[in-house]
Chains A and B, each alone.
Chain A
Amino acid sequence: MSVDTAALPADHGAGHHDVHPVRKAAMWVFLGSECIFFGSMIATFLLYRNTTADGPTAREVFNVPFTSASSFVLLMSSLTMVLAHNAFERRDARQLRVWLTATAMLGATFLAGQIFEFTEFVHEGMTLRVSPFGSAFYMLTSFHGGHVAVGVMLLTAMLILSLSGRLYADRGLNVELVGLYWHFVDIVWIVIFTVVYLLQV
């Protein structure tokens, strides 16, 4: 695996030699934008939290112990992401692959839990079309799930790159940026879990 930045052309075309602040600045800006993206959906959910029309209410369908377990899984993936980044910084390819795999698996487990949960809810009569509450719930949680899925894909891509020895620190796809993204998606879930699940039952 080659993560030796010193051996790579450092100049990315604009007279700057350290590429990381540039990428990190843009990533932070993008995450700021994502805050409004999720904030708008959370606002919609809060507006419609009691607008259940003929459908079931939050109290009737939510299974908080189950969702707590899957939330725990997702939060643990932040820990493994930190370990992966740490291994990357130490140029420890073996550890990096172990923790990347663990992070991706935990993310996939969370997604599986979400799919299971959605199936249960639909069986209990809460669908996209039954109430504004249902629409807002599914939009918010599935857009978050989509972000987790993108994260799992990025982690898998990095794993493959690492195995083929093409994971460079200066490319668009690097461990630090994916780590930032992954932690952000986890933090958003903490808000969603609190606002959507804990406060509604």
Chain B
Amino acid sequence: MTGAIRSPGGRGVWAWLTTVDHKRIGLLYGVTAGVFFLVGGLEALLIRFQLAQPNGNVLSAEAYNQLFTMHGLTMVFLVVMPVAASFTNYFLPILVGARDVAFPRLNAFSYWLFLFAGLMVYSSFIVGGAPDGAWVGYAPLSTQITETVRMDFWAVGLNLLGVASIASSANFIATVFTMRAPGMTMLRMPVFAWMALVVAFLLIFSLPAVSIGLFQLLLDRNLGTLFYEAAAGADPLLWQHLFWVFGHPEVYVLVLPAMGIVSEILPVFSRKPLFGYPFVVFSGVAIGFIGFGVWSHHMFTSGMGPLAEVGFGVSTMIIAVPTGVKIFNWIGTIWGGRIRLATPMLFSLAFIAMFVIGGLSGVTHAVVPADTQQHDSYYVVAHFHYVLFGGAVFGYVAGVYYWFPKWTGRLLDETIGKWHFWLMLIGFNLTFAPMHILGLNGMPRRTYQYGAGLGWDTWNLVATVGAVVIFVSFVVFAWNIIRTHFLARGTLAGDDPWDGRTLEWTISSPPPVHNFDVVPVVHSLDDFWHRKYAEDEEGRPVAMPALIGADGDDHEPGADAIHMPSPSYYPALASFGLVVVGYGLVYLSWGWIATGIGLAITLWGFFGWSLEPITKEH
């Protein structure tokens, strides 16, 4: 196995720019998302400072509109989705026993397109103002003010991000279906791999709908088409349908990977197998299917008529069932286990608790008359932050604490981790719990000022204090990462610091370029655990010292000629060309030249990529 695992590909920045290694791309996704998280978090802080007191004047109305739009867009598309992509990139191949994803260069293309598109959207701040029509961009508001390019940046940027997501989803699906290790049947796959698969399908089938809507908006704004022009008889409600038929599956895109991560962590820290593995898997699949049938619950006040409202109300209540199944399975997993309250476990437990609160307030939205009262109030803001922050973000932070030793070889500090945890949990609840009350007392969303004497003053101040606490908690988190990794003061982890159950813990930390010296042969769910432990009569694990770390003798020989794909700059080039096309589309009336140049660059990238040998001669 010595020698030519991967042909040399330069050093430093060039090595990262041309990398096709799923682990490096995963880290790039994670770090980039971390930077966008800081930006999106600062935007949220500014919003909270504005709302801390009645008649706040920290921000102008115009700036406020831009900030809440960019906060939503950033957190959804530039933070949570790429963080999920980061975990999936890094661990999906390892968890199913593969040496890389199915299409390493396509994977690089997805990352670079995500990065460039994110930067492109943010460049709008410099060239005349950021998008300001909310992340949902409802027509006809978004199609009307065509003198500014703000919503054009939003429409084009989201479309480019969508292309990146579709490419990476096709990649992950092909990886799961064709590259699992011998013996890794679908029902032996870790839950995280399953959830990544469901998410990939959700994206594949939901993104094209919003993509069409975004094109229609762009054409309405720039070429004078009439898709959302009510005066010509068009129906602006079409936009809401096209958006939410994507937007609701998107919610599950954001949270299912976090559920997968928690489903990995709970068994490890309870030293018990996941309770009802098939139920957790299939309820995830069920969420994926039903997730396409609930979108109009975002539109109960748009006048769809009672039949549609009842139908979508009922389907929304139904989708709570598989979610509830998962929660009971997680509790069943912990029940009677030997629980270690390490930081990943704390965040996972908080995930369950916070997600239950968000899930329950979600069910109240399914009740149409109640939702009519709650619509566009802070109650909704409270609900989706409990699901997406209390749910998704807690889950991903749990994942960072859990897998950090695999990435860097060092464990994050437990004491600092616990400070982070408690600050974040308290700050989160201080910020978002009062919003339930504010919303039920009638405080509207997306409004930059509110008058004094409406009874909203105290809770708004509490929420702002909470937001500062959240910010402090992430400063603690950043310090933990810097201290552990960059100052190298973290404890060395070894291969298997948590006594894990899945394949990533069988390899070194950080893993070698090719992941597995010998492709593993899988015999059961939680294969690594069963290689380490037998069970006594009462089902308690009994260590099998002789087999720890042993490869076993059942591998097929001859895996010694490992050729990893060579680095390539074409993916970055092709994605750069697409973003040039994007700028051309934003300035459509005179941007044809940029569009043409961008297309030429993209084609150059794609053809160069198609024609270069995958593994260069050494």
Binding site for B on A (CB under 8 A): 9, 11-16, 21-23, 25-26, 29-30, 32-34, 36-37, 39-41, 44, 47-48, 51, 53, 128-129, 131-132, 134-136, 138-139, 157, 161, 166, 170-173
Contacts and interface: CB of A to CB of B under 8 A. Distances in A.
Nearest to A129: B224
Contacts of A44: 212, 216, 227, 238, 242
Contact of B99 (A13, A29, A34): A13
A39 B211 CA distance: 12
B174 A29 contact: yes
A139 B169 CA distance: 26
B212 A41 contact: yes
A48 B233 CA distance: 9
Query: In the complex, which of the residues B104, B205, B208, B220 has the most CB atoms of chain A within 10 Å of its own CB atom?
Result: B208
A128 B609 contact: no
A51 B609 CA distance: 45
B563 interface: yes
A171 B610 contact: yes
Given A11-B615, A13-B100, A131 B226 contact: yes
B120 interface: no
19 contacts: A13-B104, A14-B98, A22-B179, A26-B174, A29-B173, A32-B204, A33-B170, A33-B207, A34-B208, A37-B211, A40-B242, A44-B227, A132-B229, A132-B234, A135-B225, A139-B227, A170-B614, A171-B610, A173-B610
Nearest to B98: A14
Given A32-B204, A53-B233, A26 B171 contact: yes
Interface string B79-103: 0000000000000010000111111
Nearest to A167: B611
Given A40-B242, A139-B216, 12 more contacts: A13-B100, A15-B562, A25-B178, A26-B170, A29-B173, A32-B204, A33-B205, A51-B232, A128-B223, A136-B227, A161-B611, A171-B611
Chain B interface secondary structure, helix, strand, loop or mixed? Answer: helix
Nearest to A128: B225
B179 A40 contact: no
A17 to B, nearest CB: 11
A134 B234 CA distance: 11
Given A33-B205, A44-B238, A16 B233 contact: no
A102 B358 CA distance: 59
A138 B224 CA distance: 13
Interface of B: 93, 98-104, 106, 166, 169-171, 173-174, 177-179, 204-209, 211-213, 215-216, 219-220, 223-227, 229, 232-235, 238, 242, 519, 559, 561-565, 607, 609-611, 613-615
A25 B227 contact: no
Contacts of B235: 47
A29 B226 contact: no
A53 B232 contact: yes
A33 B607 contact: no
A166 B610 CA distance: 11
A11 B138 CA distance: 48
A51 B559 contact: no
Contacts of B205: 32-33, 36
Nearest to B166: A33
Given A12-B614, A15-B519, A172-B609, A40 B209 contact: yes
A102 B173 CA distance: 34
B173 A131 contact: no
A29 B233 contact: no
B99 to A, nearest CB: 5
B160 to A, nearest CB: 15
Contact of A132 (B98, B174, B227): B227
A135 B177 contact: no
A36 B209 contact: yes
A166 B220 CA distance: 44
Contacts of A134: 226
Contact of A21 (B171, B178, B204): B178
Given A12-B565, A15-B559, A26-B102, A33 B208 contact: yes
A89 B576 CA distance: 36
A12 B211 CA distance: 32
Contact of A14 (B99, B177, B234, B238): B99
Nearest to A52: B233
A32 to B, nearest CB: 6
Contacts of A37: 208, 211-212
Contacts of A128: 219, 223-225
Q: What are the 10 A-B residue pairs with the smallest beta carbon separation, nearest first?
A: A37-B208, A135-B225, A40-B212, A172-B610, A36-B208, A173-B610, A13-B565, A132-B234, A26-B174, A129-B224
